[in-house]
Every structure is written in structure tokens, then in C-alpha cells.
Amino acid sequence: MFKLDKNSYGTLAVVFVVAAIFIYAVFRLVDIVWLKWFLICFAWLFCIWQLYFFRIPKRNPVGSDTIVTSAADGKVVIVDEFFEDEYLKRPCKRVCVYMDFFDVHANYWPVSGEVTYYCYHPGKHLLAFKPKASEDNEHASSCIRTESGSEVFFKQLAGTFARRIVNYSKPGLKVRAGEQCGIIKFGSRLDMFLPLDADIKVKIGDRVLACETIIAQIR
């Protein structure tokens, strides 16, 4: 079983109202029987997909202050070393996870610790899997410092169709790995920046699950 994201009730209400109006119009205006039922089924399937899209599934978190788990469901598209110039200002190991339309889009704290930084950046809506999306797209940045002093920085990146990023970060907030930290609505990407001595456990092409897939071991 799963519950729905609390930030998406309004979006879902709009979807169902529009679908109801559409179905009513189809009943009144479309005379071809097969086309009428095809359009009605399409509207209902779209509503069901939206419920599925905004789901918050039950997970078994395995993260801690030294075990970094994926903050998002999806496919690993980048694993490299990258100079993070927004907050950390140093070279890091970077792991990027791309979420398609059928992945869970809720995001979760990747590690336990204290939020030390948060900033929302308006921007473009390039295809989320493109490298330039990390810099140019609308995104929200957060950093968590663990008890040992390690820092895990991550970005929620909006994609071509995403127009809203929800993030619960607030400097000073104590967080626990595996608890929800927000949601990105529609196709998007999440980039994680880890210490250079982090032991990365995933590779490009891997499918990952938030809370349950270990991304790296840190000190």
C-alpha cells in the first residue's frame, strides 16, 4: 500500500475536475461509440497514473550518518568527480539519478545529520538528463552535515515538464536518512555530491530505490 504526497492534493484535485469536465464533454459531443469509450478510458487511465505518480510508497530505510542512500527512485546516469561550486567549493564525487514519468517522485534525506544550507534557484527547463541541466535548470540545493563532519550536498532538478519543486530543508533542521524531504513534480533529476573519499556503491545504468539502495559509504 502507499499514501499520497500531502503537497499534491491540489494538483490531483485539478486533474480530477478537468477529467470530469472532459468526460462530460465527450458524452455530450462524441457520437462515435468506440471513440467515445476510448477517450473516456484514456481520461480515467490518466487519473490513475496521476495517483500512482504522486504516491509515497512504504520503504525500509537502511541509511545512517555513514551510509548514504539514494534520495530518489530512478536510473543512475552520471557517476564522476565534479567541482561543486555553489556551496562546498571543492571537488566531489557526483552521482546523478534520473526519474522518468513512472518513477516515484518523492525525495528522501540521503543521510542522517543536520541541514546546513538550502537555496532555491529559478531557471530553465531543459531535458533533465542533459549535463547542463544541473547548472541551468530550476533547482533546489540542500546540504547535510553528519555527526562526524562529512557533508552531503544534493540538488533537486526540475525537468522539461516539471514546474514545482517542494523541499523541507531549513538550516539547523535535524534529519534522518529515509524520511521524506520533498517532491519534484514530473520528469526530473537528483544530483548528489559526496566527499572524494566516499566509497561509491553504484554505477551508471543501475536502477535505484530511494531509502533502500546504498549509494555510498562515508566516514
Q: What is the pLDDT of residue 84?
A: 96
Q: Note the pTM of the prediction, 2 decimals.
A: 0.84
| Single-letter residue type at 42 | F
Catalytic pick from 8, 64, 141, 188? 188
Query: Worst-scoring range by mean pLDDT, 84-88, 117-121, 161-165?
Result: 161-165
Distances (CA, A) of 12 to 19, 69, 103: 10, 29, 17
Is 188 an annotated catalytic residue?
yes
Listed ranges 6-10, 159-163, 175-179; the one with the highest mean pLDDT: 175-179
Reported as a single tens digit per residue, the pLDDT across 95-123 is 999 988 888 889 999 999 999 999 998 86
Q: What is the pLDDT of residue 86?
A: 95
Q: What is the pLDDT of residue 149?
A: 95
Q: What is the pLDDT of residue 132?
A: 54
Burial of 40: CB neighbours in 10 Å, binned 0-12, 13-18, 19+: middle
Q: What is the pLDDT of residue 195?
A: 97
Reported as a single tens digit per residue, the pLDDT across 35-85 is 999 999 999 999 998 888 888 888 999 999 999 999 999 999 999 999 999
C-alpha to C-alpha distance for 83 and 90, rounded to whole angstroms: 5
Helix axes 33-53, 9-29, angle to 10 degrees: 180
Q: What is the pLDDT of residue 162?
A: 53
